[in-house]
Amino acid sequence: MEFKHRSVLLEETVNGLNIKPDGIYVDGTLGGGGHAYEICRRLGNKGSIVGIDQDEAAIEAAGIRLKDFGEKVTIVRSNYCEMKSVLQGLGIDKVDGIVLDLGVSSYQLDTAERGFSYREDAPLDMRMDRRQTMTARDIVNDYSEKDLYRVIRDYGEDKFAKNIAKHIVIEREKRSIETTGQLTEIIRGAIPMKFQKKSGHPAKRTFQAIRIELNRELDVLKNSLDEMIDLLNPGGRLCIITFHSLEDRIVKSAFKKNEDPCTCPKDFPVCVCGKVSKGSILTRKPILPSEEELEENSRSKSAKLRIFERK
């Protein structure tokens, strides 16, 4: 299957980077190369971009899509949390802009055997990096009921988390849970019918939760934001697209802390903590998809773009 992914908030993100023709840019979630392609189009002869992704299918697809830009493009298979060492390995100290699109690609969702989708029956996988040995199957079958409950409650924000965890444990005692279809049926059985009718697909939140846990998505994000801001040249920008409230909260609070890191009590006449602002938030409210984009691409529905500019 061809790697297809429609880049969400494409114009808004690329415009938000305020691209300098001779600048150095990083796409930390390269995917099919949609954002990177638009960045490359605005670069001059001396400009360049580093694309990072942990998914081999994405790397292959982006390589084909960006091949006409030749030496301007460097693609590295890694996780964006390794951005600093990836750049050091390329002899790059600072960059002029970084973009992260934190959504699961359409390709990953639509390729049944990747096991991301609750709409297709496939082995429980959900690995963004297939070099990783642990899969969603391991979480579903090996986590304690307490840990399953924690994951579904915290990362899926599902009010039936306790019941879903209980049902999973009951069912796996009869036989191991191997497929997305099996898991979906178990979740259906754990949520009262009247709630299933009005709040989207019953398995959506649990699948999100397991995927986040498996790929350590929130930890990776939380632990990378400060470092990415430090990698920016003065005037450089960090553009991040999130797809659920958990990610958005992390980005919002990290941006706030970097804009105003002072820990002095509010009634102090002067700052004595010595913590200096690293820049400013350019999006007081996140940028949302236009009506037109929502009509064309339903998966953009929950997308939010936030932008930070380095001092």
Binding residues for S-adenosyl-L-methionine: 33-35, 53, 80, 101, 108
Pairing of strands 73-77, 279-281: unpaired
Positions at the binding site: 33-35, 53, 80, 101, 108
Of the candidates 297, 284, 224, 237, the one whose C-alpha atom is nearest the C-alpha of residue 256 is 284
Neighbouring C-beta atoms of residue 82, cutoff 10 Å:
17
CA dist., res. 218 & res. 220, Å (int): 5
**Residue 249: CB partners within 8 Å, gap ≥ 6?**
none
Given a contact cutoff of 8 angstroms between Cβ atoms, the answer to whether 220 and 280 are in contact is no
Q: Rounding to the nearest 10 degrees, give the CA dihedral for residues 151, 157, 162, 165.
A: -40
Distances (CA, A) of 192 to 160, 163, 197, 208, 287: 9, 10, 9, 20, 36
**Residue 94: CB partners within 8 Å, gap ≥ 6?**
24, 231, 232, 233, 236
